[in-house]
Amino acid sequence: METLPPLQKCTVDKFSAIVTRTHTFIHSIAILFMLYYRLIINLKEIPISFLPYWFLIFVSELILSFLRTLDSAHIFSPVSRSVYPENLPPDDELPAIDVFVCTADPIKEPALGVMNTVLSAMAIDYPPEKVTVYLSDDGGSVTTLCAVREAWRFGQVWIPFCREFGVKRICPETFFQAADDEINGGKDYLLERDNIQKEYEEFKERLKKAQENGGTKDTGVQFGPNRDTVIEIIGQRGCGAKNNGKAKLSSLVYVSREKNTSHPHHFKAGALNVLLRVSGIISNSPYILMLDCDMHSNDPSSARQAMCFHLDPKISPSLAFVQFPQRFRNISKNDIYDSAMRNCFVVRWPGMDGLIGPMLSGTCFYMKRKALYGTAIHKDMDLSELKKYFGSSNEFLNTVIACINDKQNDTGIKEFADNKIQETRFLASCTYEEGSQWGEEIGFLYHSVVEDYFTGFIMHCKGWKSVLYNPSRPAFLGSSTTNLNDTLVQGTRWNSGLAEVLFSRFCPLIYGLKSRMPLLERMCYAYLASQPLFCFPAWFLAIIPQLCLLNGIPIYPKVSSPWFFVYSFLFLSTLSKYLWDVVNTGGTMRTWWNEWRVWMIKSITAYFYGTLDAIMKLYGFRKASFLPTNKVVDDEQLKRYQMGIYDFQASKMLIVPLVTLVILNMISFTWGVIGKMILEGRLSDLFGQVFLSFFILVVNYPIIEGMILRKDKGSIPLFVTLLSILLSFCLLFVGSIFVR
617 has binding-site annotation: no
Asked if 586 and 346 touch (Cβ cutoff 8 Å), the reply is yes
DSSP, res 85: G
705 to 11, 640, 646, 702, 727: CA distances (angstroms): 46, 14, 9, 5, 20
Q: How far apart are CA 699 and CA 602, in angstroms?
A: 13
Q: How far apart are CA 689 and CA 545, in angstroms?
A: 6
Q: How far apart are CA 380 and CA 375, in angstroms?
A: 13
45 has binding-site annotation: no
Residues marked active site are found at 138, 452
Nearest to 301 by CA among 81, 8, 86: 86
Nearest to 24 by CA among 55, 56, 70: 70
Maximum Cα–Cα distance across the chain: 89
Asked if 459 and 374 touch (Cβ cutoff 8 Å), the reply is no
Asked if 548 and 53 touch (Cβ cutoff 8 Å), the reply is yes
β-strands 251-256, 131-137 pairing = parallel
DSSP, res 13: -
279 to 136, 150, 420: CA distances (angstroms): 11, 22, 12
Q: Judging by beta carbons within 10 Å of its beta carbon (0-12, 13-18, 19+), is residue 229 exposed, middle or buried?
A: buried
Backbone angles phi, psi at 650, to 5 degrees: -145, 170
DSSP 85-142: GGGSPPGGGSPPEEEEEEE--TTTS-HHHHHHHHHHHHTSSS-GGGEEEEEEETT--H
Q: Judging by beta carbons within 10 Å of its beta carbon (0-12, 13-18, 19+), is residue 40 exposed, middle or buried?
A: exposed
138 has binding-site annotation: yes
Angle at 699 between CA 693 and CA 704, to 5 degrees: 80
Q: Determine if residue 299 is left, alpha or beta; phi over 0 gives left, psi from -120 to 50 gives alpha, anything else beta.
A: beta
* CB proximity list for 97: less than 8 A, separation 6 or greater: 126, 130, 131, 132, 285, 287, 288, 289, 303, 366
Element holding 397 (H helix, E strand): helix 394-404
Asked if 54 and 43 touch (Cβ cutoff 8 Å), the reply is yes
Annotated binding-site residue numbers for UDP-alpha-D-glucose: 108-109, 138
Annotated binding-site residue numbers for Mn(2+): 268, 292
Annotated binding-site residue numbers: 108-109, 138, 268, 292
